[in-house]
Amino acid sequence: MWGYPYSPDKELEDLKRYRRILELRYKMIETELRYLGEKIKILREYIKEFSSLGPSPQYMFSVPLPPSPYQQMPPYPQYPVQMPSFPSRETMELKGRHRIVVATQGPKGLDDIVSPVFGRAPFFTIIDVEDGEIKNIETVENRYGMMPGGAGIAVAQYMRDLKADIVIAGSFGQNSINILENMGIRTIVMPPTQLNSNLKNLGIKLEKK
């Protein structure tokens, strides 16, 4: 191997997750190849039918090409920024036990800044809350942040391993949102400001118990 810094079990887990990401990309490439095949077929029929007329610079505007299925898929990776207004405190007050994972800029816990992005956030701050009171806080480094592609998807799946039921970041890619929602994990968009001030909007008491 390449000197993986974590345990063999964790390395195996990460490799399996990365394999799923590659399989998804492979399916997307297969879909695009089928589309290109249809496009080539149409252009060949056009050339065969109108070869006697000579080349025309306008042919691309007149040949009816099928819509690309790839255009219906989000780019890989995708980082659209969503900044909706944050809900009021009354609608967001937490009851019961929750594990909140926040994408943050550093390892400073409640004093840190919410990361403007999710998949490539430098750190994640994990907050265990019960009836609005903080029970435990820890910070982990984002081991997937430097992946060449698919960081958002890998991190979204990592949230399940962390047993998160709420994930907070400054923005989420659509791929990440889809995966998190399918796993029953709620996503909340917060402005990239200090975490402790943001948590007040969730009705969380900032003193650790």
Per the structure, the count of domains in the chain is 2
Whether residue 140 is contained in a domain is answered as yes
* Same domain (yes/no): 55, 101: no
The three state secondary structure string of 129-195 is: EECCEEEEEEEEECCCCCCCCCHHHHHHHHHHHCCCCEEEECCCCHHHHHHHHHCCCEEEECCCCEH
* Same domain (yes/no): 131, 164: yes
* Same domain (yes/no): 118, 58: no
Q: β-strands 205-208, 186-189: how paired?
A: unpaired
CATH number (domain holding residue 147): 3.30.420.130
Q: What is the pLDDT of residue 59?
A: 43
* Same domain (yes/no): 47, 144: no
* Same domain (yes/no): 174, 118: yes
* Same domain (yes/no): 109, 178: yes
Q: What is the pLDDT of residue 52?
A: 56
Minimal CA–CA distance to 70: which of 62, 78, 79?
78
User: Rounded distance, CA 36 to CA 42, Å?
Assistant: 10
Whether residue 15 is contained in a domain is answered as yes
This prediction's pTM? 0.56
- Residue 46: give the domain boundaries: 8-72
pLDDT truncated to tens, each residue of the chain (209 aa)? 344 445 677 767 777 777 777 777 777 777 777 777 777 877 777 677 665 555 544 444 444 444 544 444 444 443 344 444 344 333 456 788 999 999 999 999 999 999 999 999 999 999 999 888 899 999 999 998 888 788 888 999 999 999 999 999 999 988 899 999 999 999 999 888 888 887 877 777 766 65
